[in-house]
Amino acid sequence: MNRKTFYLFVGPSLIMMLVFIAAPLISVFIGSFYVTRSVYEDVTVESCTPGFTTQTCTTEVRRKPIIKDNGEVLTNTVFVGLDTYRTLLQPERVKRAFTQGQWLEPFRTIDFYKALRFTVMFTLITLPFVLVVGLSIAMAVNNCVRTLRGPIIFVSLLPFIITPVIGALSIRWLFIGDGLITRGLEQLTGQDISMFAQGWTIELLMLFYRVWHVAPFAFVIFYAGLQTVNQDTLDAATVDGASRWERLRYVIVPHLQPLIIFVTMIHLMDAYRVFEEVIGFSSEAHVISLQWLTFDYLTPDDSGNRAISRASASSMLTMVGIIIILIPVLRRTWREHRTGA
């Protein structure tokens, strides 16, 4: 392929990446160092009590936002450097808690660390379940009767086809209050069950939903990989007396290793941006994520103001977290590539 043809193929994709990925990232990064505030002015207000002979007037100075001719509030953008990140991370408060031996206090009282704790836990706990459940379904479908594979594949893919928010709402309706499963459990146990009254039960439901929703994606990838396993190698292992577990461990899993790494990377990037579960389960009072925290900063408050600077800083820290959590996988992939080369 000559250079001109290469540029014609790569050019459109490169332009789209620059416009829709690089430019917004740079804009968000710059925006995290600036704060836009309303401009206020001191206004002297005189108030008088009703009356004719005993009327009393007092004056006081009030701060009011300056209104422009078009009716909008006058704002001023100021460079604040790392102050926004300090506001999010609150290093002085964290240091004081660690000094007093209260290691878990920041994860209970500071929004960013509460969101970070759940996001990291959610990502790392769901990953092995997604891999194991996806591979188990793929192995079961691959070994079942050929006539049943179509219906089983269709049923297995249904959770992945459902819109994430709709799926989360469906699980919530099954367990909340007088939900179908909750009422069944209450009749079996004879006790009142409230799955949404405490944070840990909500987190369990979120973990269950994510595995239920994403495992079909891993199943499709692994099932496709199983079709390329060398049957002669499997037959030779069977003749040598290898058990089903040994064939899985020493033949199938090494063959699927690139696909396992691929599914791992996709899941880590997607799960670290957990958002639909928080919205679908309405868990803001107990459980929040980094992505939801960014969304909350962008939501106008009662005065119509949005914390765009803090939202930008939260987004950048989320991206840094994704990069950090991907480093071990990327290093292993690079090391295997170098060894194979």
Q: How far apart are CA 38 and CA 25, in angstroms?
A: 25
Per the confidence metrics, is the pTM higher than 0.85? no
Residues spanned by the domain of 101: 79-109
Q: According to the model, what pLDDT value does residue 244 have?
A: 85
d(CA 133, CA 318): 27
**For a pLDDT cut of 70, what percent of the chain falls above it?**
96
Residues 241, 124, single domain; the answer is yes
Q: CB-based burial of residue 61 (10 Å sphere; 0-12 exposed, 13-18 middle, 19+ buried)? A: exposed
| Same domain membership, residue 141 and residue 203 | yes
Q: Are residues 94 and 121 in the same domain?
A: no
Q: What is the mean pLDDT of the chain?
A: 86
Q: What is the pLDDT of residue 341?
A: 52
Average pLDDT over residues 319-337: 86
Same domain, 167 and 267: yes
pLDDT at 147: 83
Tell whether 175 and 230 lie within a shared domain.
Answer: yes
Per-residue pLDDT band for 331 (boundaries 50, 70, 90) equals confident
Which residue, 56, 87, 109, sits at the end of a domain?
109
Distances (CA, A) of 206 to 280, 295, 310: 9, 19, 26
Residues 144 and 83 in one domain: no
Between CA 102 and CA 118 the distance in angstroms is 19
pLDDT computed for residue 318 by the predictor: 92
Q: 50 in a domain, yes or no? A: no
pLDDT at 303 over 60: yes
167 and 299 in a single domain? The answer is yes
Residues 105 and 119 in one domain: no
Residues 101 and 114 in one domain: no
Pair (96, 117) in one structural domain: no
Q: CB neighbours (10 Å) of residue 127?
A: 19
> Which CATH number belongs to the domain containing residue 165 in this structure?
1.10.3720.10
Distance CA 329, CA 98 (A): 31
pLDDT in tens, 5-44: 888 888 888 899 999 889 999 999 999 999 887 777 777 7
